[in-house]
Structure 1
Amino acid sequence: MENTTAFNSDSHTAYNAADDYEGYKVTYTEAKPVANESLLEKIKAVLPQIAANAEAAEQLRRVPDENIKLLKDMGLHRAFQPKVYGGLEISLPEFADCIVTIAGACAGTAWAFSLLCTHSHQIAMFPKQLQDEIWLANPDATASSSIAPFGKVEEVEGGVQLSGDYGWSSGCDHAEYAIVGFNRFDAEGKKIYSFGVIPRADYEIVDNWFAGAIKSSGSKQLKIRDLFIPEYRIQKAKDMMEGKSAGFGLYPDSKIFYSPYRPYFASGFSAVSLGVAERMLEAFKLKQKTRIRAYTGANLGASTPALMRLAESTHQVAAARAFLEKTWEDHRIHGEQKRYPTQETLAFWRTNQAYAVKMCIEAVDRLFAAAGATSWLDGQEMQRLFRDSHMTGAHAYTDYDVCAQILGRELMGLDPDPTMV
């Protein structure tokens, strides 16, 4: 990543991170399709505004309306919406590049908005009746989610009755629907993990998002009480991972829907982590250029320890990007070839992203440890990047302790552990 703006600061002066985004640009090692370049150019054009909102967004504890409008105006929310409803159906590598870019300016915005986008991919695997209900009425409609099975379910004629308090619904303030998880039971009492799609009028948003990182994601709680969900709004999670859901095959010419929902749903987490780490490299360099040790007046910009830390973290972040790009490209190729991923492939896709997140966090930690005391002050960009980086590794899908066990079992030919989702 490159920043062409001049920077002037020292160890005693706070700087405005938004100023660094004037002239901000992202470079890539290979050419991207024209459509992707156009979308990326639109995103880069609004980065100064998103970065300028970052501190206020933390105080707001949700994505600012301005950020949502900027990204919706360019059509990013339609990334994984079927073309029949006006969607873009862009590839996963194209989408991930967009989220990485946004995350450097505001991780919470990138986190929440990526989920609003990827949930459209999941909705496209539901029955056509539900898709028509959502997108014929409002082609711009999006969904947040809370998919851990927190709710209490009662089987009733034509569907289920659901009650529960569903937490961690990122971006819910800006969504017209929510996807919630719950367990049904078959005749033998076996759990059937399922998803239901519910309209905004059917749940209450509880403003309880007081977090230490990615504060602007607005990952609040959804309160649901005695809600009837009809069968056409419900799908089994297992079916959505095995190409057996009601919506599978509805779009035979599409290159993105011949896939399970989960790799798309989870793609934004590692993209945000990478974007934060890449921005941390730039923030560290900008600070070190004119950093002066307070007690001795020594110029720290060319100190050997700082140079070594910067070099190693740069290599580590570059390795994380290359690893993720290869993984995202594998998603694209599978879709283009109409090749459904094997269990082994899914295990690698899931765990590759978690390992890349682990690398990004290590790279950020190495730099922040040497960034000086002023970097810990409220309002300083580097402490926000440090906090946000660690949060990207706290999600269930990016927990590397879990992912290492998942991949280890797959490599040894053992059956998957059902306690590890």
Structure 2
Amino acid sequence: MAHEVVSRVEEIAGRLAAVADETERLGRLADESVKLIREAGVMRLLQPTDFGGYAAHPRDFAEAVMAVAKACGSTGWVCGVGGVHPWEMALCDRRLQQEVWGSDSNTWIASPYMPSGVATPTDGGYILKGRWQFSSGTDHCDWIFLGALVGDAEGRPAQPMKAMHVVLPRSDYTIVEDSWDVIGLRGTGSKDVIVDGAFIPAYRTIDSEEVAAGEIAAERAGRTETVYRLPFWSMFPLGITSAVVGICEGALAAHLDYQRDRVMAAGTKVKDDPYTLFAISEAASEIQASRLQLLDGISRLYDLADSGKPITFEDRAVVRRNQIRCAWRAVSAVDEIFARSGGNAVRRGNPLQRFWRDAHVGLQHAIHIPGTTYHATAQVQMGLEPQGALRMMI
């Protein structure tokens, strides 16, 4: 049975699709999209129940993100990225959770996690400076997670380097307008943010290695629900790849709708052309395979955590390898059908071209880079132990 939030998203899909062009034109989510997503509860799926959330199975979260992205790629992307932040917030100090959600359980949190700033220790906390790119949905958020390197007395990254995630209220950072001029996922409003000397109390920080390990952070936070014992590098990529797969599902739906009555230049109706129909079926199968493999991977990790078994590096690596492959497989399938859609598919009024652009920009995210993850996964399955950079983002 579909989670109630997934069912709600399916009910509002037509309304999300109707404002997708407005979202792209604005360079941020349209107000109607934000309203619909808030009412559906998508951003609260991974939020703890004691702060108005569902603490849902991550499979349900992925299904909801895909359903949103199928209607509007940018809105799905914001849900995929922003929807993971409540999961991490559940692992933070309870004082911080109260600050963020105490008066409004619908408060949204932005990111990014790239350690593009330096947090210099001071009495009671840190002084943070830096500039970060790609803060998806940031216009609609009141708090933000940022990656930072711990600094030395001179404000330079200390050695050996140590990374952490810090949390700031909207008043402590500046959103750089006009810093998101892109060819796809335009409506995500993934703008730059700047922090210039904000004080971060120590309780508004969390060790990124503990979050990456999963169970350690959950135990420290007193969270017993299975979902909070999963590793960060299994959960965060899930949201992003779910958005890409959902976008590809949207592209397939738009392609089918467009091709149904189309007549090609030679006068042949597409519905009677065996070559195009073959490509459609093959692409549809590839996209569905991506969906199923993505859901299977996170479900396997959840089952391990739920049974009290350890999640090994190999478990994580295999799921990450497959998750990356899901994104590439689905986008490649969209390329096959887009190439058979004719010249009118590139017109702005045809939603297919927007899905095609959004899918390719989604593939550009760092978590979809296959090289080191594929390398590490092959090594670990040979009985070797990947070292250094090969372990990043796994």
1:131 aligns with 2:103: no
The 2-side partners of 1:211 and 1:55 are apart by 15
Q: Deviations over 1:82-122 (max 9, x none)?
A: 11112111101111111111111111101112222210111
Q: CA deviation at 1:325?
A: 2.0
Normalising by structure 1, we get a TM-score of: 0.87
What residue is the counterpart of 2:195 in the other structure? 224
SS of aligned partner of 1:277: helix
What residue is the counterpart of 1:200 in the other structure? 170
What residue is the counterpart of 1:5 in the other structure? none
Count of residues paired in the alignment: 385
* 1:270 partner letter: T
Pick the aligned partner of 2:223 from 234, 245, 251. 251
Cα 1:143–1:157, aligned 2, differ >3 Å: closer, same or farther?
same
What residue is the counterpart of 2:237 in the other structure? 266
What residue is the counterpart of 1:344 in the other structure? 314
1:398 aligns with 2:364: no
Cα 1:340–1:134, aligned 2, differ >3 Å: closer, same or farther?
farther
Q: CA deviation at 1:55?
A: 0.9
The 2-side partners of 1:275 and 1:114 are apart by 10
1:105 aligns with 2:71: yes
Q: CA deviation at 1:133?
A: 2.1
Q: CA deviation at 1:246?
A: 7.4
Q: Deviations over 1:147-189 (max 9, x none)?
A: 1111133222222111111110101111110000011158982
SS of aligned partner of 1:68: helix
Q: Which has the higher helix share?
A: 2
The 2-side partners of 1:216 and 1:116 are apart by 14
Q: Deviations over 1:241-288 (max 9, x none)?
A: 223337645122x12112222322221111112112222222222222
The 2-side partners of 1:82 and 1:247 are apart by 15
Report which stretch shifted further, 337-346 or 181-190.
Answer: 181-190
* 1:359 partner letter: R
Gaps of 5+ in 2: none
Mapping 1:54-203, distance limit 5 Å: 54-184=20-150, 189-203=159-173
SS of aligned partner of 2:303: helix
Q: Deviations over 1:174-214 (max 9, x none)?
A: 11100000111589820111110100111111121111111
Gaps of 5+ in 1: 1-31
Normalising by structure 2, we get a TM-score of: 0.92
The 1-side partners of 2:319 and 2:197 are apart by 37
What residue is the counterpart of 1:279 in the other structure? 250
The 2-side partners of 1:344 and 1:304 are apart by 43
Percent identical: 26
What residue is the counterpart of 2:11 in the other structure? 45
The 1-side partners of 2:199 and 2:219 are apart by 22
Pick the aligned partner of 1:318 from 288, 293, 309. 288
Q: CA RMSD in A?
A: 1.9
Q: CA deviation at 1:298?
A: 2.9
Asked whether the equivalents of residues 259 and 340 of structure 1 are also in contact (C-alpha less than 8 Å), the reply is no
The 2-side partners of 1:163 and 1:179 are apart by 14
Q: Deviations over 1:331-366 (max 9, x none)?
A: 331342233411111112222111100100110000
* 1:66 partner letter: E
What residue is the counterpart of 1:235 in the other structure? 206
What residue is the counterpart of 1:16 in the other structure? none
